[in-house]
Amino acid sequence: MCRALPPGDRADPRYGELFREASKAGVEVLPCAFSFEIDRILWEGQRPVQSSQSAIR
């Protein structure tokens, strides 16, 4: 289970930069966690945004 979600720098550094810029400008960030099963998608709640790219699990 993921306890916090990174801003996405590993996949796209520019996206991570813009994500933080938008957040600092007041854009509300609501990261949510989901799990997937063969017949459904389950919402597992909101997660905090982690400040660095290292995974928190």
The enclosing domain of 57 has a CATH number of: 3.40.1350.60
Residue 41 clears pLDDT 90, i.e. is over it: yes
pLDDT bucket at 43, cuts 50 / 70 / 90: very high
Residue 53 main-chain phi, psi, to 5 deg = -80, -15
What confidence score (pLDDT) does residue 42 get?
96
Q: Residue 49 pairs with which residues in a beta bridge?
A: 5
Predicted TM-score (pTM) of the model is 0.63
Instruction: Give the domain range for residue 22.
Output: 1-57
What confidence score (pLDDT) does residue 5 get?
80
Other residues' Cβ atoms within 10 Å of the Cβ of residue 4:
15
Q: Which two tokens stand for residue 6?
A: 């990174």
What confidence score (pLDDT) does residue 1 get?
65
| Total domains, the chain | 1
Surface-to-core class of residue 7, CB atoms within 10 Å of its CB (0-12 exposed, 13-18 middle, 19+ buried) = buried
Which carries the bigger pLDDT value, residue 28 or residue 52? 28
